[in-house]
Amino acid sequence: MSVSNKLRSGVLFLVIGVGSALAFSPGHAGLQPARILSADTRQAVNQGVELERSRKWLDAVVHYEKSVKQYPDCGELQSGMRRAKVHFSVDRRYCDGSFHRSLLTQSRAEAMTLFDDILNRTQSHYVEPISLTSFVAHGTESLYQALDESRFLEENVPADRRDQAASVRSELSRPGEYWNRKINDRDDARRFIDQVCRLCHRELGLDAVPVVMEYVFGGCNALDDYSSLLTPGRYNDLMSNIRGEFVGLGVEIKGEPEQGLLLVNVLPGSPAAEGGLLPGEHIVSIDGRDVTNATTDEAASYLQGAAGSKVTLEVARGAGGQTRRITLVRRPVEIKSIPVAELIEQRSGVGYIQLSSFQDSTVPELD
């Protein structure tokens, strides 16, 4: 399949553009000047670092976002938030089957063509000018963090060479040569990425395509928080939400380490609801696969499947509670844009409408 066909099949670039591009700065605290922090600020920094050490990237992002609002002048918190967001993005991509099937299987030439296409879209359609230096620098930052991400290393680097990743990261952090390298034009960008690919292959045996993908996805970090590049799988999920219908079990899940997948919500009339699943329960196994420590995205991929296919779940109620096994059949599930609409005060005509999301059915449901 050609790159253009792959783009049409679901790699979607969302250009919303409500804010200016981030100024590129080193993505790790070691390159930040030391500051004297208040006790409360230091505690917030330490809590974030601990979440990072535990590889709880989503929790770290949430923590840093909250802390940055409280202490906006703290560079360590801002750097931590940046690190956590990049790590979360890398981890999420490598839990996404569509990323593996549609993007990592490309040839090097196709990957570079995709990079050119995404770069062209940012420069043509983004609300503010994005410099080549900034776009490429954010890709370097993404690769730098990916080389400290276990999923990336396990997928792409031979086991006997993974201990060399730290030295490659050190090389990438050299200002001017790799880190924040000045890029003059598109040919210069391609030459630079080729240079990075050669470095990674020589030192780590790392193929070019995973490296280029960090420049494709990481480059988009130069934009605002509301503009991003979607994998085919995430694009399909977005379209399902807009249409208000998807094929699955009808559950909203959240990964909780050591406990499994928390059922946050069970849609009425869905296979999950008909099978007796309840919010607050935990899925601990999917088709015999232990998911007590699976991430939300990783587990979601296990739950997906074609309409009419079966999936067997092991479900626990409460921490350490007894488990039960249940087999469900995947089918189309309708998501209501307005799940609740009721008249509270009939005499005065006051009603209540709960609008959970904007989708194709919102206006008809409202009528």
pLDDT in tens, 68-116: 999 999 999 999 999 999 999 999 999 888 999 999 999 999 999 999 9
Res. 245: pLDDT tops 80: no
- Any idea what the CATH number is for the domain that residue 290 is in? 2.30.42.10
Give residue 33's identity as a one-letter amino acid code: P
Q: What is the pLDDT of residue 337?
A: 80
Supply angle C-alpha 308, 313, 314, rounded to 5.
165
Structural domain contains residue 239: no
Structural domain contains residue 192: yes
Q: Are residues 318 and 184 in the same domain?
A: no
What is the enclosing helix (H) or strand (E) of 265? strand 260-266
Q: What is the pLDDT of residue 349?
A: 83
Q: Are residues 111 and 132 in the same domain?
A: yes
Q: Are residues 189 and 298 in the same domain?
A: no
Q: Are residues 220 and 287 in the same domain?
A: no
Q: Are residues 118 and 133 in the same domain?
A: yes
Q: Are residues 328 and 253 in the same domain?
A: yes
* Residue that terminates a domain, selected from 233, 267, 293: 233
User: What distance in Å separates the CA atoms of residue 88 and residue 135, rounded to the nearest whole number?
Assistant: 19
Q: Are residues 349 and 328 in the same domain?
A: no
Give residue 44's identity as a one-letter amino acid code: A
Structural domain contains residue 32: yes
Instruction: Give the tokens for residue 316.
Output: 């626990």
Structural domain contains residue 271: yes
More confident residue, 157 or 254: 157
3-state secondary structure 277-340: CCCCEEEEEECCEECCCCCHHHHHHHHCCCCCCEEEEEEEECCCCCEEEEEEECEEEECCCCCE
Q: Which residues contact 133 (CB under 8 A, 6 or more apart)?
A: 24, 180, 181, 182, 183
Q: What is the pLDDT of residue 35?
A: 64
What is the enclosing helix (H) or strand (E) of 352? strand 350-354
Res. 11: pLDDT tops 60: no
Neighbours of 88 (CB within 10 A): 21
Q: What is the pLDDT of residue 18?
A: 36
Q: What is the pLDDT of residue 319?
A: 63
Confidence of residue 236 (pLDDT cuts 50, 70, 90): confident
Res. 289: pLDDT tops 90: yes
Q: What DSSP designation does 112 have? A: H
φ, ψ dihedrals at 74, nearest 5°: -85, 110
Q: What DSSP designation does 270 have? A: S
Res. 13: pLDDT tops 60: no
Res. 248: pLDDT tops 60: yes
pTM of the complete model beyond 0.95:
no
Q: How many domains does the chain have?
A: 3
Q: What is the pLDDT of residues 164-173, one digit of tens each?
A: 999 999 999 9
Q: Express as a percent the part of the chain with pLDDT over 90.
A: 59
Q: Which residues contact 200 (CB under 8 A, 6 or more apart)?
A: 143, 168, 206, 208, 211
Res. 320: pLDDT tops 60: yes
Q: Are residues 362 and 264 in the same domain?
A: no
What is the span of the domain harbouring residue 310? Answer: 246-334
Distances (CA, A) of 74 to 33, 85, 101, 202, 284: 11, 17, 41, 38, 40
Q: Are residues 192 and 250 in the same domain?
A: no
Q: Are residues 355 and 267 in the same domain?
A: no
What is the enclosing helix (H) or strand (E) of 252? strand 251-256
Q: Are residues 144 and 198 in the same domain?
A: yes
Q: What is the pLDDT of residue 74?
A: 93
Contact between 260 and 289 (Cβ < 8 Å): no
